[in-house]
Amino acid sequence: MIKIFDTTLRDGEQSPGCSMNLNEKLQMARQLERLNVDIIEAGFAISSKGDFESVKRIAQTVEKPIVASLARALEKDIDAAWRAVKDANNPRIHTFLATSPIHLEYKLKMTEEQAIERAVQAVRHAKKYCHDVEFSAEDATRTSVEFLAKIFEAVIDAGATVINIPDTVGYADPFEYYEFIKAIKENTRGMEKVDISVHCHNDLGLAVANSLAAIKAGATQVECTVNGIGERAGNAAMEEVVMNLKVRQDVYKVDTNIVTTEIMRSSNLLQNITGAKVQANKAIVGVNAFAHESGIHQHGVLANKETYEIMTPESIGLSKNNMVLGKHSGKHALKDRLEDLGYRVSDEELNNIFDRFKTLADEKKTVYDQDLEALILRDMSNM
Ligand code: KIV
Ligand code: ZN
């Protein structure tokens, strides 16, 4: 099973327009538990009083998932993270340090040796509190495999239980990321004892593809967010990663613990809380993801859903697909909708209504049920 580490409430919440208050975070955390994510990253405890309180309340509220707080590789951050997560049934401290030359030189002003020392101190400090400690090498994809192997061996020796290899700036390409994860796995002593995690950003639109490539290379944990919210262009979208694994079992041969019928509810809740709406054509959860307007497609789907649907709407928690009636729709879909509305019409009546429906669709773009009722009623009053 691939572990789903949900960071909607930490990396997701860091994106403009997506911040949430305590109650909203609690509501979302309860929904993430129903969704059955393995890990909830509840926040960055030291970043604000509000964040600390949210992490603490989530840790006290959810029962099954691991609850993590982010912490820089600093004792004061790790202390705050522990105080926030310690009441959880399954607490985790997630500490991180950048490893790429550009971050070491300009942000941290550290040598590689100093970075290793700092990372080891951080993991050792976290281990005094908590068995479950994740170490992330920020900007890993712009770091050499050789240096990553060194720092990962050192933190594994210090007790890290999860090693995260983030594509912080969304720079990786799936083929390259696959080779990168494989090379790290093969060249790092102790990697077989820990969970290998990936955390991909979407700057080039490849966060989900990169996460899937990493799974193929041996990653066992994927960090992602509901609706793909997150810094800049966002993080890997949880629903896309999960449904790829489910629908393409033949390719990936691994699944997740996610209750997929809770996906739509989770997406809608987040959209309602933050006001950040997903685009209509968003994979899995966009309003058009299970909508069919063209006559050819509608005819196919009415005859056999699998002609144009590779997963069922029910599998993500929708009650049914959506046949949108517009200028591309055909007689089959119109007849079907009229029957749903309780009107049985002869072939001749259908031809008549269809002509007027097409004229209306050209004017209105989408023809709703009430428009159809009006057409039918006008037809009847002319009889
Ligand atoms: O993108 C990133 O590298 C992160 C780390 C803190 C895991 O969010
Ligand atoms: Zn991130």
Q: How far apart are CA 298 and CA 134, in angstroms?
A: 48
Residues 6+ apart with CB under 8 A from 267: 226, 227, 239, 278, 284, 285
Ligand 2: distance of its center to the CA of 355 in Å?
53
Q: How far apart are CA 135 and CA 284, in angstroms?
A: 31
Ligand 2: distance of its center to the CA of 11 in Å?
6
Which ligand 1 atom is at minimum distance from the Cα of 136? 7
Do the beta carbons of residue 201 and residue 235 sit within 8 Å?
yes
The ligand minimizing its distance to the Cα of 139 is 1
Residues whose Cβ atom is located within 5 A of ion ligand 2: 11
Half-sphere exposure of 366 (CA within 13 A, CB side): 10
Q: What pLDDT does residue 375 have?
A: 83
What are the backbone dihedrals phi and psi of residue 100, each rounded to the nearest 5 degrees, phi first?
-75, 155
- Binding site membership of 178 for ligand 1 (Cβ less than 6 Å): no
Q: What pLDDT does residue 376 have?
A: 82
- Binding site membership of 170 for ligand 1 (Cβ less than 6 Å): no
Q: Beta strands of 139-265 (E only): which ranges?
A: 162-167, 195-200, 221-224
- Binding site membership of 256 for ligand 1 (Cβ less than 6 Å): no
Cα-based torsion angle of the residue sequence 363, 368, 371, 372 in order, rounded to the nearest 10 degrees: 110
Smallest CA separation from ligand 1 atom 7, residue: 136
The ligand minimizing its distance to the Cα of 41 is 1
Smallest CA separation from ligand 1 atom 8, residue: 11
Which ligand 1 atom is at minimum distance from the Cα of 138? 3
Q: What pLDDT does residue 168 have?
A: 98
Q: How far apart are CA 376 and CA 158, in angstroms?
A: 74
Question: How large a percentage of the chain has pLDDT more than 70?
Answer: 99
For a ligand 1 pocket test, name from 44, 78, 143, 199 the mutation site with the most ligand atoms within 8 angstroms of its C-beta: 199
Ligand 2: distance of its center to the CA of 170 in Å?
9
Angle at 24 between CA 18 and CA 25, to 5 degrees: 80
Among residues 78, 3, 5, 2, the alpha carbon closest in space to that of 45 is found at 78
Q: What is the pTM of this model?
A: 0.92
Give the residue ranges of DSSP H helices in 45-111. Answer: 49-61, 75-85, 101-102
ipTM of the complex: 0.99
Q: What pLDDT does residue 379 have?
A: 65
- Binding site membership of 96 for ligand 1 (Cβ less than 6 Å): yes
- Binding site membership of 5 for ligand 1 (Cβ less than 6 Å): no
Q: What pLDDT does residue 380 have?
A: 61
Which ligand 1 atom is at minimum distance from the Cα of 7? 8
Low-confidence ranges of the chain (pLDDT < 50): 383
For a ligand 1 pocket test, name from 74, 94, 139, 168 the mutation site with the most ligand atoms within 8 angstroms of its C-beta: 168
Among residues 129, 151, 31, the alpha carbon closest in space to that of 78 is found at 129
Q: Beta strands of the chain (E only): which ranges?
A: 3-6, 39-43, 66-72, 91-98, 133-138, 162-167, 195-200, 221-224, 291-292, 322-323
pLDDT tens figures, 125-147: 999 999 999 999 999 999 999 99
